[in-house]
Structure 1
């Protein structure tokens, strides 16, 4: 009996759901101070070191370094545009790399210690539960999100596919001669339609196209419910189900 009583707190702790917290890193292979932040993002995603938080990591590679000697193969202009939205509504009024954003509200120079502190605070704020499924159908991923109630007016619902285990042998620029390894690299980003009443809840569904060369077994789907350029109200991440 004594052993059972000792085990009970452990079971209760294991059953306690973690609050999803979004950690975004704006980075570039052309930036010499970015590899350490990339490593921090990978550790946060893999180790999940914040009690009560499920850290959902996304690495956005921006393209505004591409003209300075090395073109980042994972960069896209829409990721820099996303970063600039935070600047317009944020408290620092500038873009830089490496820049982390936790739950859409706190921006800082990317480092693990600050990310942990901000994530711990963010985990205490309530979130809208998002039930997410993602399955591969041919050359696309069907993302389906269900909520018990209709999201508040003005919130945006978006999805991303992120790939782990990517690397580059950098030939030029500030990181010339280095092999850079990345986690949670955003491969594609898309807005989702507003959820509609269905099956006693509210459902949004979309197809995200897969590109050749993406390793499907290394991909995760992420969905986020967010105020435009601001606070994250809900988030979820799942691995892809294969048909």
Structure 2
């Protein structure tokens, strides 16, 4: 893809089997008020202004801003800055395609990093703290799905996730996809080349896998759904650093529901 299509925005600165059931980390009060707000970061280790955004994103996860809303945080590393001298080890054309879909749905002129998309409906430059917090504060909330989850690790390099529950949101004739993301925190990379040459880069909530559980259409909020997704695992997979998020999204990637799921510590 031609470099002129993209921009780097912002201020430069930041053999055994295991089987266990888990449920969402949602209190009754959170479910009454609405489910989490989905905050998606599009970033790259090849973008000079992304490290500052990554720091803000990590602070969101630590609760530094005392936001009165639970969050689902997902960071997608795009690959269109790889030509600049450093190939992002977490970058993927799959995430570039996802960002492009948001650019089209939100009627933007260009793709850029670092970018935040909130609930699939609003966006801002990711390293501007005021804009980021405002975008989250103004986001509409929807009921959280109530899926129970069963994890099975049939081989050392695979993870099977079985889910059963209700979306708690009616889906009309336009339909929706139920997606499951596997993400990793606590990643540290020495960057010897590219725009961030000589820096040590820290990344959290990095999406490593994204799979479709099912597609639905014309179903009630209470209808029980079930399905299985299988994730191939990477070298060095550590369940203690990972989490799973369930997203219900329509064809425009508007979020119709989301759920955070913890992995068992001894997976």
TM-score range, shorter chain: 0.7 to 0.9
Say if 1:236 and 1:74 are closer, same or farther in 2 by CA, change over 3 A: same
**2:209 matched to 1:188?**
yes
Say if 1:53 and 1:223 are closer, same or farther in 2 by CA, change over 3 A: same
Counterparts of 2:93 and 2:178, CA distance in 1: 20
Cα deviation, residue 156, structure 1: 1.4
Deviations 1:100-146 (A, max 9, x none): 10010111110333222222222x43335242525242321314142
Instruction: Answer whether contact 1:132 1:237 (CA < 8 A) is retained.
Output: no
User: What TM-score do you get using the length of structure 2 for normalisation?
Assistant: 0.78
SS in 2 for 1:45: helix
Q: 2:163 pairs with 119, 141, 144, which one?
A: 144
In structure 2, stretches of 5+ residues that fail to align are 1-26
Aligned to 2:142: 126
**2:108 matched to 1:104?**
no
Aligned to 1:173: 194
Cα deviation, residue 201, structure 1: 2.0
Deviations 1:32-80 (A, max 9, x none): 1000000111111121735441111111001111111000000111000
Counterparts of 1:195 and 1:145, CA distance in 2: 14
Instruction: Answer whether contact 2:164 2:224 (CA < 8 A) is retained.
Output: no
SS in 1 for 2:83: helix
Cα deviation, residue 217, structure 1: 1.3
Say if 1:144 and 1:70 are closer, same or farther in 2 by CA, change over 3 A: same
Counterparts of 1:116 and 1:183, CA distance in 2: 18
Q: 1:27 pairs with 39, 43, 49, which one?
A: 43
User: What TM-score do you get using the length of structure 1 for normalisation?
Assistant: 0.85
Counterparts of 1:203 and 1:48, CA distance in 2: 36
SS in 2 for 1:71: coil
More divergent stretch after superposition (202-211 vs 126-135): 126-135
Counterparts of 2:261 and 2:248, CA distance in 1: 15
Counterparts of 1:108 and 1:131, CA distance in 2: 31
Aligned to 2:60: 44
Counterparts of 1:132 and 1:54, CA distance in 2: 19
Relative to total residues, which structure has the larger helix share, 1 or 2?
Answer: 1
Counterparts of 1:96 and 1:145, CA distance in 2: 37
In structure 1, stretches of 5+ residues that fail to align are 1-13
Counterparts of 2:126 and 2:67, CA distance in 1: 20
Aligned to 2:263: 240
Size of the aligned set, in residue pairs, is 228
**2:95 matched to 1:79?**
yes
